[in-house]
């Protein structure tokens, strides 16, 4: 007891001494402000000198986070936002403060390893953002094996010089450490290697907590909501910083393993509220209802095919002559968007077949393959269809061999089912793939059952580097002139040759030729008489903005780009890049060729394919999130996994809370709010349904209720 009283007494004495010191500092500041400022600066300088490694650790990592936000999202606003700086600073300080709990002899090693890890976060996100226009998620570790196949694309087209700026932090730490060590040797300074500074650590962690508190108190309800949802990664990094985002992502990424423990009741409530207003059966009819019922379907998954190539010519030669002809004989949806996230091709397959959105973490094909889904193959099989899929790549790529079975395909013909006689890009060439696939489809057709088949193209996949195998297609401008000798001469203007977009166009021209051969072979085999072709681009090709600027603004006379003030100059900003991501979607058959062909310009998304086809082929999915495009009139909305959306009126960027008007009509705040709320709801419903396997739970509940009713009737 005496010891405790003594400690309390000593503490009171120290508090009084501290109060005296504070009063003295206050008096000194009033008496001589200049001396006070000098003393303050000297104190800061002394603190930095005595804690050089710590300050280098903090400053360089903070610089990395600011640089990352600027070079990825690339707006000056990112340099001015205080919240993400404070949020990142709080985490950097907390990590750095822990270093003072470590013995001094190990402190540099701690700072250096922490710096490498945190710098690696910046480097990885920088590279990932260049390719996917999003930030990386740890839930994608399970899909990292799929990046090996496109590794060349990363190094050739994605890795930039600026990505190496983030090694500044560990490099500066290393230089500082050797500088301090050399100075200590020169001056004969001996440090206490076992020294720990717990009080200093607690002080730094306290400052970190204050920084975090400042961020928390400044958050708006919208920011809190989006932080919890984790869908809009760009927005989160802009508002919360890269390290806060990454920590939140780790927490969100373990959600699949915790579904039975947390969030189920809330998810089920959202699910029930949404689907309580959805009819169990289709309640409408239109001119396309059951139009193709009983016919075969071949869905052509056109790898990386973007819509801007349709109608595009070089030197009078069409890039896609076969697609151009097909659009004029089909129901052609020219305002169609893919809705992929990080699962790219697999996301397209998933959304088309289920009318659900990609998940906010991981991918459905890899992380949620064991859920219950209502899909096109399953619904058609109820009508007696045989369902198959074909792809000239490894069956395990994107977990297709397992997920296609889960979606209801009876058979998946993968690489092992083909003779790999011609390789272009990632694997079997499209021409060989289609040629061999026709033979398999003939056998399936001869069995007599209607079929639903998905054939997945491969050649037109990034990095588009096998230009010598695509065939001849010139993407420079050729011009005939009369030279000084009075003779005709062909000169070439350096247009798109050697650019990624130029190589892509050569690849597309090859893919289009392969497609033409495939359709001709199906026609020759008599399969087209009772078959409907559904062709869709799975996603955009991730082409650089600079190449599009050259494509649309090249002046052959100057061999330069048109100046910005030229009346023919076409602005290619971030909004235009988003609109250029459109992919083709068309439905072709003998009926559309004769009389049904037309262009549909209403905005449409991948999740609208299932309900649109469902009305035509006589199947219905209560859990579909999209709409039959022929029932939407002019009010359809396409929602992207980022929270962005597009309608016939606007393209809305949820990260920047800004939009591009697509029609000369007044856009009200109420309209944007209504669309934004709907987008949030659909993303939430879709993610809840997948993560918590709610279709299965809902079906089990319905079955148990039916059993209960049957038992009562028997009694």
Taking only the tens place, the pLDDT of each residue in 519-537 is 999 999 999 999 999 999 9
- pLDDT > 90? residue 541: yes
Q: Is 59 exposed, middle or buried (0-12, 13-18, 19+ CB in 10 A)?
A: middle
Mean per-residue pLDDT for 47-67? 84
pTM higher than the cut 0.75: yes
> In the CATH scheme, what is the homologous superfamily, with its name and number, of domain 286-622?
Alkaline Phosphatase, subunit A (3.40.720.10)
- pLDDT > 70? residue 108: yes
**Tokens encoding 320:** 């896609």
Q: Band the pLDDT of 147: cuts 50, 70, 90.
A: low
At 139 the pLDDT is 60
Mean per-residue pLDDT for 385-405? 93
- pLDDT > 70? residue 150: no
What is the C-alpha to C-alpha distance for residues 407 and 416, in angstroms, rounded to an integer?
Answer: 21
- pLDDT > 90? residue 291: yes
Buried b (16+ CB within 10 A) or exposed e, 107-117: bbebbbebbee
Q: Band the pLDDT of 1: cuts 50, 70, 90.
A: very low
At 12 the pLDDT is 64
Quickly count: other Cβ atoms within 10 Å of residue 549's Cβ. Answer: 18
For the chain, what is the mean pLDDT?
86
Written in H, E and C, the secondary structure of 316-360 is CEECCHHHHHHHHCCEEECCEECCCCCCHHHHHHHHHHHCCCCCC
Biggest CA–CA distance in the chain, Å, is 115
Pick 24 or 330 by higher pLDDT.
330
Q: What is the pLDDT of residues 650-664, one digit of tens each?
A: 999 988 889 999 998
**Tokens encoding 432:** 């060989």
Q: Band the pLDDT of 549: cuts 50, 70, 90.
A: very high
What is the C-alpha to C-alpha distance for residues 468 and 576, in angstroms, rounded to an integer?
Answer: 31
- pLDDT > 80? residue 80: no
Give the H/E segment covering residue 300. Answer: strand 296-302
Q: How far from each other are the two terminal CA atoms of the chain, in whole angstroms?
A: 78
Mean per-residue pLDDT for 158-177? 82
**Tokens encoding 159:** 């890795």
Q: Band the pLDDT of 221: cuts 50, 70, 90.
A: confident
Mean per-residue pLDDT for 82-88? 88
- pLDDT > 60? residue 158: no
Q: Of 144-153, 339-348, 698-707, give the lowest mean pLDDT range.
A: 144-153
How far are the Cα atoms of 387, 446, 447, 449, 596 from residue 442, in angstroms, in the given order?
14, 6, 9, 12, 27
Q: Is the dihedral of CA 299, 303, 304, 308 positive or negative?
A: negative
- pLDDT > 50? residue 708: no
What is the C-alpha to C-alpha distance for residues 394 and 404, in angstroms, rounded to an integer?
Answer: 13
Strand 477-482 relative to strand 488-493, pairing: antiparallel
Q: Of 91-95, 127-131, 193-197, 692-696, give the lowest mean pLDDT range.
A: 193-197
Could you give the residue range(s) of every CATH 3.40.720.10 domain in the chain?
A: 286-622
At 239 the pLDDT is 83
Which of 212-216, 230-234, 481-485, 644-648 has the largest mean confidence? 644-648
Mean per-residue pLDDT for 565-569? 94
At 40 the pLDDT is 46
At 210 the pLDDT is 87
Q: What is the pLDDT of residues 665-674, one digit of tens each?
A: 889 999 999 9
Q: What percent of the chain has pLDDT over 90?
A: 56
- pLDDT > 70? residue 351: yes
Q: Band the pLDDT of 154: cuts 50, 70, 90.
A: very low
CB within 8 A of 351, min separation 6: which ones? 339, 340, 357, 358, 606, 607
Q: What is the pLDDT of residues 498-512, one digit of tens each?
A: 999 999 999 999 999
Pick 362 or 601 by higher pLDDT.
601
Give the H/E segment covering residue 701. Answer: helix 694-714
Q: What is the pLDDT of residues 176-209, one digit of tens each?
A: 888 887 776 666 656 555 566 778 888 888 888 8
- pLDDT > 60? residue 18: no
Q: Of 136-140, 379-383, 625-629, give the lowest mean pLDDT range.
A: 136-140
């Amino acid at each position: 007891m005496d010891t405790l009283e003594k400690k309390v007494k000593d503490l009171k004495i120290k508090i009084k001494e501290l109060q005296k010191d504070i009063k003295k500092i206050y008096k000194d500041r009033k008496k001589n402000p200049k001396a006070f400022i000098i003393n303050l600066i000297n104190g800061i300088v002394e603190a930095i000198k005595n804690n050089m490694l710590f300050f280098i650790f903090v400053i360089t990592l903070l610089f990395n986070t600011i640089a990352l936000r600027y070079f990825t999202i690339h707006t000056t606003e990112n340099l001015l936002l205080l919240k993400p700086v404070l949020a990142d600073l709080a985490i950097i300080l907390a990590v750095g403060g822990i270093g003072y709990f470590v013995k001094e002899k190990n402190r540099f090693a701690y700072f250096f390893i922490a710096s490498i890890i945190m710098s690696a976060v910046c480097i990885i996100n920088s590279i990932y953002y260049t390719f996917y226009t999003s930030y990386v998620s740890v839930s994608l570790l399970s899909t990292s094996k799929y990046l090996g196949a496109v590794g060349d694309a990363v190094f050739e087209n994605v890795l930039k010089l600026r990505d190496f700026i983030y090694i500044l932090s560990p490099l500066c730490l290393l230089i500082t450490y050797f500088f301090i060590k050399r100075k200590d040797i020169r001056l004969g300074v001996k440090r206490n290697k076992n020294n720990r500074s717990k009080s200093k650590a607690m002080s730094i962690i306290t400052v970190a907590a204050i920084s975090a508190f400042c961020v928390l108190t400044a958050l708006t309800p919208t920011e809190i909501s989006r932080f919890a949802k984790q869908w809009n990664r760009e927005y989160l990094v802009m508002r919360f910083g890269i390290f806060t985002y990454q920590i939140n992502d780790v927490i969100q990424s373990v959600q699949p393993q915790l579904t039975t423990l947390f969030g189920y009741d809330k998810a089920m409530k959202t699910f029930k509220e949404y689907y309580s207003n959805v009819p169990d059966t289709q309640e409408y009819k239109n001119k396309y209802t059951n139009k193709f019922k009983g016919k075969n379907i071949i869905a052509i998954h056109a790898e990386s095919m973007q819509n801007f190539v349709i109608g595009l010519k070089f030197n009078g030669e069409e890039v896609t002559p076969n697609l151009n002809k097909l659009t004029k004989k089909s129901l052609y949806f020219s305002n169609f968007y893919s809705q992929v996230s990080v699962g790219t091709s697999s996301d397209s397959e998933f959304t088309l077949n289920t009318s659900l959105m990609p998940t906010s973490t991981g991918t459905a094909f890899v992380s949620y393959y064991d859920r219950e889904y209502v899909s096109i193959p399953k619904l058609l099989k109820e009508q007696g269809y045989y369902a198959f899929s074909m792809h000239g790549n490894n069956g395990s790529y994107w977990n297709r061999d397992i997920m296609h079975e889960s979606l209801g395909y009876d058979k998946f013909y993968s690489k092992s089912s083909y003779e790999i006689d011609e390789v272009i890009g990632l694997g079997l060439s499209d021409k060989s793939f289609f040629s061999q696939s026709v033979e398999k489809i003939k056998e399936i057709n001869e069995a007599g059952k209607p079929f639903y088949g998905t054939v997945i193209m491969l050649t037109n996949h990034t990095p588009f580097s096998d230009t010598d195998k695509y065939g001849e297609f010139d993407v420079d401008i050729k011009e005939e002139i009369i030279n000084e000798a009075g003779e005709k001469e062909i000169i070439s203007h350096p247009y798109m040759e050697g650019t990624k977009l130029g190589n892509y166009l050569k690849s597309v021209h090859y893919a289009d030729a392969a497609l033409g051969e495939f359709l001709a072979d199906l026609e020759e085999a008599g399969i087209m008489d009772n078959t409907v072709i559904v062709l869709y681009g799975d996603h955009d090709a991730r082409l650089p903005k600079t190449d599009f600027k050259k494509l649309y603004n090249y002046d052959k006379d100057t061999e330069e780009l048109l100046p910005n003030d030229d009346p023919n100059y076409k602005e290619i900003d971030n909004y235009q890049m988003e609109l250029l991501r459109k992919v083709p979607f068309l439905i072709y058959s003998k009926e559309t060729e004769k009389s049904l062909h037309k262009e549909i310009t209403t905005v449409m998304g991948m999740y609208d394919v299932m309900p649109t086809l469902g009305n035509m082929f006589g199947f219905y999915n209560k859990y579909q999130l999209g709409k039959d495009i022929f029932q939407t009139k002019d009010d359809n909305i396409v929602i992207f996994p980022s929270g962005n959306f597009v309608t016939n009126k606007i393209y809305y960027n949820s990260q920047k809370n800004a939009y591009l008007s697509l029609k000369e009509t007044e856009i009200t705040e109420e309209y944007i709010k209504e669309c934004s709320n709907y987008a949030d709801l659909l993303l939430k419903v879709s993610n809840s349904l997948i993560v918590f396997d709610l279709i299965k739970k809902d079906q089990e509940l319905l079955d148990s209720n039916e059993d209960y009713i049957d038992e009562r009737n028997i009694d």
